[in-house]
Amino acid sequence: MSATRSRGAIAGIGELKPTRRTEGRTTLEMIAEVSRLAVLDAGLEPGHIDGLLVGPQVGETPQHVPATVAEYLGLKPDMANVVDLGGASGAGMVWRAAAAIEAGMCEAVLCVLANTREEVPARSPNRNPIREFDVPFGASGANISYALLMQAHMAEHGSTPRDFAAIAAWARSNAQLNPDAIFYGKPADVDDVLASPMVASPLHLLEIVMPVAGGEAVVVVSAKCARQLAKPAVHLLGAGEKVTHRAVSQAPSLTSGPLKPAMARAFAQSGTRADQMSLLSLYDCYTIMVAATIEDAGLCAPGQFGRWVRDHDLGPSGDAPLNTHGGQLGFGQPDLAGGMTHVVEAVRQLRGEATGRQIANARLALVTGNGATMSEATALVLGADQ
């Protein structure tokens, strides 16, 4: 193929000699070794790598695989994903990497697969940083980790429990306009939030999502195809992604997260600003997550989210609609599909189909997604069909 038709180029390769057994070695160690060889072969430095594709089989972690690998390698990619296609995973990574580069998400993608083979499984030490530096000291599970972030924000900026509780109260308020919300018919004001049981200080029960069953799906098509469909399309105008860590002990900051650069990229691609959004569809697993996102989006200065919430009406008829479906705090969190609820609500609003809670003349929406402990971030700017 002519280079002028290239959709991407493989610049470096790495390979480990096959062995029958790998006693005492870990998957992360082998991933690091072969990744180093590929980056060296490409003539690059680790800091040049801004994309990461990995397989699902990393023995040291059952989930958050890209974040765990990136953290172990010292990378902070702008695009990261798992490719789980069995024996087709290697080839599948190549075109996905090229597509991400062509989309402007990154410039140099590390695609890596490795596995150990022990005679007696699980004899090797677990070098996953979260197992070494967090879990032994009690930082196990989301509640404890997000409570730590909330404590840090309060200590650094002087934010108060009432500031955070107002976010949960708005989620419940908006949920009253959505008959499908798990908390429909169950409003809760700031005092109710603060009166709910303390789960992990300073997090109260009503500041934490309720796990539910459910499902969400969207279909993405080309702009050409969209013009031929009966319903108005909602267009992706900009996107950004960033992974900075997996274990909270490895976080670059406890009061600002990877959504800050992810949103900045999405705004830059779309030529928009946060204050131009008709809808803020912000991932809200915990109130601290929304608080940090409001600040990282540039809607207010660091530490000022509480005043920003008090100064604005976050309902669908207000001046700053936020999570009009109730968010996950009001609608519920159907596991990983919880983040997709924010996408679906944005589409409904931009189509003008959010019955009972429709934003007038909705044109732009910011959608955010968050993984692990403010670790993995994606931001989208969506626009209504013109």
Q: Are 376 and 64 in contact (CB under 8 A)?
A: yes
Residue type, 14: G
Kindly tell me if the per-residue pLDDT of 1 is higher than 50: no
Question: Residue 365 — φ and ψ, nearest 5°?
Answer: -140, 140
Q: Please write the tens of the pLDDT for every residue from 4-30.
A: 567 788 899 998 888 888 888 888 998
Within the chain, all domains assigned CATH 3.40.47.10 are found at 12-127, 142-384
CATH class given for the domain over 142-384? alpha beta
CA dihedral 38, 41, 47, 50 (to 10 degrees): -50
Name beta bridge partners: 52.
Answer: 80, 110
Q: How far apart are CA 364 and CA 262, in angstroms?
A: 17
Q: Please write the tens of the pLDDT for every residue from 115-151.
A: 887 765 555 566 777 877 888 877 778 999 999 999 9
Q: Which one has a higher pLDDT value, 310 or 90? A: 310
Q: Are 131 and 73 in contact (CB under 8 A)?
A: no
pLDDT band (50, 70, 90) for residue 261: very high
- What 3-state class would DSSP assign to 291? helix
- Kindly report the average pLDDT of the chain as a whole number: 92
CB atoms within 10 A of CB 361: 8
Instruction: Write the DSSP assignment of 178-210 as a string of letters.
Output: -TTSTTTT----HHHHHHSPEEETTEEGGGBPP
pLDDT band (50, 70, 90) for residue 219: confident
Block residue for tokens 């000022």: 304
Instruction: Write the DSSP assignment of 76-116 as a string of letters.
Output: --SEEEE---GGGHHHHHHHHHHHHHHTTS-S-EEEE----
Block residue for tokens 């959709």: 7
CATH class given for the domain over 12-127? alpha beta
- Supply the pLDDT for residue 161: 98
Q: Please write the tens of the pLDDT for every residue from 312-371.
A: 999 999 999 999 999 999 999 999 889 999 999 999 999 999 999 999 999 999 999 999
b/e 6-24 (16+ beta carbons within 10 angstroms → b): eeeeeeeebeeeeeeebee
Q: Please write the tens of the pLDDT for every residue from 199-215.
A: 999 999 999 999 999 99
Question: Residue 162 — φ and ψ, nearest 5°?
Answer: -65, -35
* 103-106 CB contacts, 8 Å cutoff, 24+ apart: 103/239, 104/269, 105/51, 105/78, 105/79, 105/239, 105/240, 105/241, 106/50, 106/51, 106/77, 106/78, 106/79
Q: What does the block give as tokens for 365?
A: 């929406």
